[in-house]
Amino acid sequence: MPVKIILQQSPDAAALIEMRRRLNAVRAALVEREAGLAQLRSQLKAFEGRYLHRVGVLYAELDEINARITEREVDLYDSDSARRRAQEARRRAQDTHDAAFGVDEEPQEFDPPPSLKTLFRELARRIHPDLAGDQAEQKHFTLLMMRANEAYSRGDADTLERLLDDHREISAAAGESDALTLKRVTRQIEHAERDLAALDREQQTLLASEIGQLFTDAETAGRNDRDLLAELAATLRERITDAQYRLEFTERQMNAHGK
């Protein structure tokens, strides 16, 4: 019968196994959370598009008519307050129009400064998935690369630096002792937990935002067979009809006064 030689594990080595298990678990959770958040983000994005398309444009129409009414009122009876009112209404109409028709910040051309390029290369060299030691690490590196790409494409040097710092802090030296590795893995767990918390915060921020809450309301209504956006649009169309009538009334008045 062959004798199996079982080496007595050092306390560090035993702890290391446990820590690695924890690291893999928390990193797996991170991937899940990241995917969930990406889904929420794209759901919100799609909802935003639907909302602007079905409701936002109606707000723009309503505000435009209201602005015209106040402007006709200035034509009818000029006064400081009438003019101030017309200016405010016009500004509001412009804002709503911009919001509804997506006249956003100029889509800036992507031309990263050389320093950002250097930083990105420096980071990519270290976290490229091909460099991963095992499968778990490869998965993690893929995630990091994705983040780095995102940060790079929006010119976010801070995030790139943070990723690089994280990596420097934990990068393994060849032939390090178990104690050192243990320290390193502990740091890695801390980083992952910190990132998880950041994702939680982002999810809360997303859901607490106006669009997030409107999305939640619409989902709740949908479960009760209600179409919140359709209801909103119907109410708005009524208000537009009212405003249209008021505009025509003001214009009739102008004609009656012969101005």
Q: Nearer to other proteins by C-beta: 59 or 141?
A: 59
> Which candidate, 164, 162, 169, 163, places its Cα nearest to that of 186?
169
**Measuring CA to CA, which residue among 241, 244, 259 is closest to residue 69?**
244
CA–CA distance, 202 with 61 (Å, rounded to integer):
34
Which of 27, 68, 147, 184 binds other proteins (CB under 8 A)? It is 147
Per-state percent for the chain, helix, strand, coil, to nearest 5 = 80, 0, 20
Closest separation between CB of residue 237 and other proteins, Å?
Answer: 12
Query: Which C-beta is closer to other proteins: that of 132 or that of 196?
Result: 196
Q: How far, in Å, CA of 144 to CA of 123, rounded?
A: 10
Q: Select the residue interacting with other proteins from 171, 204, 235, 241 (CB under 8 A).
A: 235
Among 21, 45, 50, 91, binds other proteins (CB under 8 A): 45
Task: Write the DSSP symbol of residue 10.
Answer: P
The rounded distance, in Å, linking the Cα atoms of 14 and 124 is 32
Q: Does 37 bind other proteins (CB under 8 A)?
A: yes
Report d(CA 183, CA 170) in Å as an integer.
Answer: 9
User: Given the rule CB under 8 A, which of 120-128, 134-142, 175-183, 223-231 is the region that contacts other proteins?
Assistant: 223-231
- What residues line the site for other proteins (CB under 8 A)? 37, 41-42, 44-45, 48, 51-52, 55-56, 59, 73, 76-77, 79-82, 85, 95-96, 98-100, 104-105, 147, 150, 153-154, 156, 158-159, 162-163, 165, 190, 194-195, 197-199, 202, 205-206, 209-214, 217-218, 226, 228, 231-232, 235-236, 249-250, 253
